[in-house]
């Protein structure tokens, strides 16, 4: 891995302890339900999330898709935040494979929909409309600086859902970042949802995999949907064993990543050319923009950080994104800040030379 890879927490390699566990993992055929490592991982995830059962899946995208397919059918409608990962970043899977119609609702700067907007998005019982079946939530909210949303929001969405006989699915790819940042047990949030998918391969460092949890009837149906998608894996314990370590020893240390992100955000906020929503940065994701009157745009900065400093950031639209994780130290964050300052203060002359050269 590049020493300064801030593009995402998905780039994290497994730890030494994970590699050792993988080498000696007990295995079986998980499609027969006989892989002891997968079974142990599913049980552990379900316990941590206060659910009956868990289902090991290949990715967060698969966790959400299997979850949504289990909650809704062709022609049904799913209410979803306009910038939610499962609406914007999962290749339209619910529509492509499920015939499920997403109904996007606007979200605020923390990633929350207004209750009145959610209620207005629910279809009336009329054959003209796709019938609303499920509300899709996300925590932390990736496109909003990974903002950790409080349990109260989930409680009020759950009330509304119960009133209209809808189910609630939570994309909890980074749910443990939320729980750690809010200093609560993840179950304080998941008690208000019918299903939740968590990622093992982001900040928790496992190489592969997510777990979808819910009640036993839900997971039984979800297991069939996973099979439909080709997601039944055989000796999957070889990767699930790393997931067990992810859940048993990597959660609390996420606070270190949050501290590093906060430090980064504060330093960025002190640079004149940079705009950043400091207040919403509470976990490990830092979005920022270079002011329009600056002589560099986001793409120039990404390129020069890479070429001149060997530092990788992500670009989405005009926003730059830096994500902290297990393999990023405080010194690495300092290197990023120094690199950015060097580029921003080098002056427009260099840039105009670049433009001439290309
Ligand atoms: C990463 C992520 C996912 C799943 O991504 P995969 O790359 O499929 O594992 C889902 N939701 C959110 C919010 C994410 O950040």
State residue 291's pLDDT score: 87
Is any atom of ligand 1 closer than 6 Å to the C-beta of 203? no
Work out the end-to-end distance of the chain between its first and last CA atoms, rounded to an integer number of angstroms: 30
pLDDT at position 130 is 98
Q: Which two tokens mark 29? A: 């055929």
- What is the Å distance from ligand 1's center to 199 Cα? 7
Measuring CA to CA, how many Å separate 111 from each of 4, 79, 137?
28, 14, 9
Residues forming beta bridges with residue 198, ordered by sequence position: 172, 211
For ligand 1, whether the C-beta of 321 sits within 6 Å is no
Q: Model pTM greater than 0.75?
A: yes
pLDDT at 345 exceeding the cut of 90: no
pLDDT the model gives residue 16: 98
Q: What is the mean pLDDT of residues 21-50?
A: 98
Would the pLDDT of 293 be above 80?
Answer: no
Q: How confident is the model at residue 292 (pLDDT cuts 50, 70, 90)?
A: confident
The answer to whether the Cα torsion of 171, 231, 207, 237 is positive or negative is positive
Ligand 1: distance of its center to the CA of 39 in Å? 23
Confidence at 349, pLDDT banded by 50, 70, 90: very low
CA of 341 to the centre of ligand 1 (A): 31
Determine what percent of the chain is predicted with pLDDT higher than 70: 96
Is residue 194 pLDDT above 70, yes or no?
A: yes
Provide the pLDDT for residue 348.
56
Q: Is the pLDDT of residue 181 over 60?
A: yes
354 has pLDDT over 80 = no
Residue with tokens 């496992």: 206
User: What is the band of 346 on the pLDDT scale with cuts at 50, 70, 90?
Assistant: confident
Distance from C-alpha of 193 to C-alpha of 345, rounded to nearest angstrom: 48
User: What proportion of the chain, given as a percentage, has pLDDT over 90?
Assistant: 92
310/343 Cα distance (integer angstroms): 13
- Using DSSP bridges, classify how beta strands 274-275 and 210-214 pair: parallel, antiparallel or unpaired: unpaired
Q: What is the mean pLDDT of the chain?
A: 95
Stretch 74-84: mean pLDDT, rounded? 98
């Amino acid at each position: 891995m590049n020493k300064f890879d801030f593009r995402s927490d998905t780039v994290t390699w497994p730890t030494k302890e994970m590699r050792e566990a993988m080498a000696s993992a007990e295995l079986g055929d998980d499609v027969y339900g006989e892989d002891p490592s997968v079974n142990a991982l599913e049980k552990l995830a379900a316990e941590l999330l206060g659910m009956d059962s868990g289902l090991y899946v290949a990715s967060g995208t698969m966790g959400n898709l299997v979850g949504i397919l289990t909650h809704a059918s062709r022609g049904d409608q799913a209410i979803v935040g306009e910038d939610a990962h499962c609406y914007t970043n999962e290749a339209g899977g619910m529509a492509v494979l499920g015939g499920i119609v997403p109904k996007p609702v606007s979200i605020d700067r923390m990633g929350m929909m207004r209750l009145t907007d959610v209620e207005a998005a629910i279809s009336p019982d009329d054959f003209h409309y796709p019938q609303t079946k499920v509300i899709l939530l996300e925590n932390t909210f990736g496109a909003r600086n990974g903002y950790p949303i409080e349990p109260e929001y989930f409680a009020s969405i759950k009330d509304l859902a119960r009133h209209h006989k809808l189910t609630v699915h939570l994309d909890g790819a980074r749910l443990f970042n939320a729980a750690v940042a809010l200093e609560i047990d993840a179950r304080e949030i998941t008690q208000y949802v019918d299903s939740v998918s968590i990622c093992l391969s982001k900040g928790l460092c496992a190489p592969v995999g997510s777990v979808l949890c819910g009640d036993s009837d839900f997971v039984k149906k979800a297991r069939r949907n996973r099979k439909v998608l080709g997601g039944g894996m055989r000796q999957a314990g070889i990767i699930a064993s790393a997931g067990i370590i992810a859940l048993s020893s990597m959660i609390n240390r996420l606070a270190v990543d949050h501290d590093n992100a906060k430090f980064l955000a504060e330093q960025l906020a002190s640079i004149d050319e940079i705009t950043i929503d400091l207040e919403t940065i509470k976990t490990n994701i830092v979005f920022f923009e270079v002011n329009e009157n600056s002589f560099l745009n986001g793409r120039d900065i990404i390129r020069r950080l890479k070429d001149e400093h060997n530092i990788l950031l992500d670009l989405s639209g005009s926003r730059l994104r830096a994500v902290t994780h297990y393999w990023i130290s405080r010194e690495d964050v300092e290197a990023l800040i120094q690199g950015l300052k060097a580029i921003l203060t080098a002056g427009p002359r260099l840039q105009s030379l670049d433009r001439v050269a290309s």
